[in-house]
Chain A
């Protein structure tokens, strides 16, 4: 038993040490940031992702779990396109279609549209593996569809968006030259005031921290996973702060992605929202995403 454990550890260590270096980022595939990222030599990339979200329950402001009254299942078809504009900068556009289900009732609608940009402030160098890749992220999500604010259908079946514009900015640090790669992202957001039937709504600012670990168990396949720490400040309605309306959740993600050269690639992600720790005004659910990526 003792020997088999040692052999297993040796095989695993060799496997990790023999793997290729991974050019990626800490938020890639986490589901918490832009879904399509260009590697240094790529000029354009198309992304098509189909996700299924289910198992919804709500954490209230006391952190207690409650039944969810929204859709039992959400499906999302996400389309994104990334374009390089300079050797160190690329932009992407992201949108899609949604389907909300509860029992036999189904509703479809467009999802919000997001424009993203990533600037490589520091690129990794094999001769200096202790220096990470540093990317600056700037995104803006447009309110382009109906949300829980103006929903008319029972169980919010016609709600597909956030209900307000939001701008995200942050940094993504990735140590991708080590056999066992790791990194972290810190994204801050400012939600813009939105006019709702209840008044002028301003969601609180958010802070999203992502910690990621990754390696390549097989040639041209990468496995990354990590944790997302999501915080959002209190909501303001007509310039009054709503007490106990701040949000907190901790999520886990695991992504398996192919890195095949000269052909299409695939990515499978699993995200568990509300996975560990204490939560507040948050959602518990699981999401599975299968995505197809084509470098043009």
Chain B
């Protein structure tokens, strides 16, 4: 019987070891998630800008101050250039937050307000983050039209959201 017990414990330990190993885990070298979906870095795109999937524009998003979760007091400035770095006029049509590492969007997007500050520069007020996140875990999908062409770019939010 004692032998049977030993076999049981040994078997359990083998199973435990087998279950714990393996996997395709990738945070052994933790890094910031790079923007995906649309946003591509094209040659000639100025630093800090992301080219739209259609190459209709390049866009950069800056924050008036570090954004915070569960607040409408977040303001983003959206600046458009051509993919060659030239000034262009563009119409911001959508500014959509996405928590890229958790796989879901935010809420209260209908409360956001878009204001054109100058040709190619827009302010987005009342941006609401439904939860916090590490630097670059939140991204924003920017959709706009320029010279009759529409495009979409995913821009990383390089702030920790608290």
Using Cβ atoms and an 8 Å threshold, which residues of chain B touch A69?
69-70, 130-132
Q: Which of A179, A180, A183, A281 contacts B15 (CB 8 A)?
A: A183
**Residue B33 lies at the interface, judged by CB distance under 8 Å to chain A:** yes
Using Cβ atoms and an 8 Å threshold, which residues of chain B touch A129?
4
Residue picked from A163, A182, A246, most chain B C-beta under 10 Å = A182
Interface-facing stretch out of B43-51, B73-81, B95-103, B119-127:
B95-103
Q: A63-B27, A179-B1 are in contact. Are A229 and B20 (CB under 8 A)?
A: yes
**Residue B107 lies at the interface, judged by CB distance under 8 Å to chain A:** yes
C-alpha spacing A280/B30, complex, angstroms = 10
Interface of B is mostly: loop
B11 near A175 with CB under 8 A, answer yes
C-alpha spacing A186/B22, complex, angstroms = 13
Interface-facing stretch out of B58-66, B85-93, B133-141:
B133-141
Q: Which of A16, A156, A227, A248 contacts B5 (CB 8 A)?
A: A16
C-alpha spacing A178/B2, complex, angstroms = 10
**Residue B148 lies at the interface, judged by CB distance under 8 Å to chain A:** no
B103 near A237 with CB under 8 A, answer yes
Interface size on A, residues (CB 8 A): 65
A179 near B8 with CB under 8 A, answer yes
Using Cβ atoms and an 8 Å threshold, which residues of chain A touch B113?
none
Q: A61-B134, A63-B30, A154-B70 are in contact. Are A242 and B19 (CB under 8 A)?
A: no
Min Cβ gap B21→A in Å is 9
Q: Which of B7, B24, B25 contacts A178 (CB 8 A)?
A: B7
Q: A60-B133, A182-B8, A281-B102 are in contact. List 5 more A-B contacts (CB 8 A).
A: A182-B9, A182-B11, A229-B19, A242-B37, A277-B20
The 8 closest A-B pairs by CB, nearest first: A209-B19, A69-B131, A182-B12, A235-B103, A180-B8, A244-B33, A243-B33, A184-B15
What residues make up the interface of B, taking CB atoms closer than 8 Å to A? 1-2, 4-5, 7-9, 11-12, 15-16, 18-20, 23-27, 30-34, 36-37, 69-70, 96, 98, 100-105, 107-108, 130-134, 137, 141
